[in-house]
Amino acid sequence: MDIPGPEIPDNHPDRLHDCLLAVEPAFRALAEQAELAGWSREEVATALNGLAFSRMMMVREMAAEDPPAERKRREH
């Protein structure tokens, strides 16, 4: 399933909302596939929540190791 990319600038106040709308169909499809495979809704929700939490922790760790000023310098 294709997920559409952002159409508004990084600093736009609606960007996160647009990301949620873009990701939601794939997220729902993944949850439904897991449920069809035999996992309960609670198990699937708990697993997806755990994966999301792990992803957030990884993103935060990477941000701490790579401050924005350093990222900008490498991008240019």
In a domain, 6, yes or no: no
Whole-structure pTM value: 0.77
Q: Which run of H or E residues covers position 17?
A: helix 15-36
In a domain, 66, yes or no: yes
In a domain, 27, yes or no: no
In a domain, 35, yes or no: no
Instruction: Check whether 56 has a pLDDT greater than 70.
Output: yes
Could you list the residue range(s) of the whole structural domain that residue 61 is in?
A: 40-76
Total domains, the chain: 1
Instruction: Check whether 75 has a pLDDT greater than 90.
Output: no
pLDDT single digits (tens) 7-52: 999 999 999 999 999 999 999 999 999 999 999 999 999 999 999 9
Give 68's pLDDT tier (boundaries 50, 70, 90): low
- pLDDT at site 47: 98
Q: Could you tell me which of 54, 48, 49 has the C-alpha nearest to residue 29?
A: 48
